[in-house]
Amino acid sequence: MVMITPTNAAVRSLEGLHLYHSARSNCSARVRLLLDEKHLDWTSHALDLLKKENISEEYFGINPKGLVPALVHDGTVIIESNDILVYLDETFPETRFGVAREDDRARLDTWLQKSTDLHIPAIKTFQYFKMNAALLQKTPAEEDLYWKLQKDPDLRAFHGKHSGGKTFTSDDAAAAVELLNGVFAEIDQALVGNEWMMGDDYSLADISWGPSMTTLLSGGFDFSTFPHVERWYDALCQRPEFDKAVIQWRKQANWEKLLKKQG
């Protein structure tokens, strides 16, 4: 679990739950979803990624990768969205979305790890190729600041693909689609005869993967070969918490409309 000591001293005195997040971020959405499913009180610190509000010394002083989300709980900072899910589930156990059996815990951990591992090479790459790179272009000054602040090698490599006038290629997208088809084939198989990814019980696995599907749908990813995944996602969309935490937040930032204007 990634707990850090923030260099931004201002957040160390924060009391309660504070979430630094963005409307369109699927990683942010999964944390909002769990907070709402648990009916926890939390303070929103929404960052506008189009305005590059995450690219600042102040925010890198909270999350040294400059990514959303970041959770601050009584001055303690937890980054990496799936780690935040586990932290919240263990710290506020009144309503649990983990699993009890040892073999089920290992399976849940695997789903969460896949979600983490595939974020940059698959989900993020697909979305940047389809729409995000066109909307999140940086000015020379913003690029200079980003390279000054960003120390993570994976993120430097990723963002280097759309800096200085470069962009993601069809080969990048094809590799991402291959990874996504592989994992959603696994999810589809796991859902055969089951309502949720872990069986009969709605769990952190569903909370982690559901918002990712929302994001991929906005980029036009084809789920037609995964009928069980489509049925599962329909069930997710019926949950009031999912609508509030995922769908309604995305509607506030209508990137599709902005992309159409640019096109």
pLDDT tens for the chain, residues 1 to 263: 678 889 999 999 999 999 999 999 999 999 999 999 999 999 999 999 999 999 999 999 999 999 999 999 999 999 999 999 999 999 999 999 998 777 899 999 999 999 999 999 999 999 999 988 888 889 999 999 999 999 999 999 999 998 888 899 999 999 999 999 999 999 999 999 999 999 999 999 999 999 999 999 999 999 999 999 999 999 999 999 999 999 999 988 766 655 555 55
Q: What confidence score (pLDDT) does residue 99 get? A: 81
| Three-state SS annotation for the chain | CEEECCCCHHHHHCCCEEEEECCCCHHHHHHHHHHHHCCCCCEEEECCHHHCCCCCHHHHCCCCCCCCCEEEECCEEEECHHHHHHHHHHHCCCCCCCCCCHHHHHHHHHHHHHHHHCHHHHHHHHHHHHHHHHHCCCCHHHHHHHHHHCCCHHHHHHHHCCCCCCCCCHHHHHHHHHHHHHHHHHHHHHCCCCCECCECCCCHHHHHHHHHHHHHHHCCCCCCCCHHHHHHHHHHHCCHHHHHHHHHHHHHCCHHHHHHHHC
Question: Which pLDDT belongs to residue 217?
Answer: 96
CA terminus-to-terminus distance, the chain: 41
Beta bridge partners of 82: none
Torsion of CA 204, 205, 208, 209, to 10 degrees: -160
Tokens at 1, concatenated:
């679990």
Model confidence over 74-108: pLDDT tens digits?
999 999 999 999 999 999 999 999 987 778 999 99
Structure pTM? 0.95
C-alpha of 72 from chain center? 17
Residues in the chain: 263
**Whole-angstrom Cα distance, residue 231 to residue 192?**
10
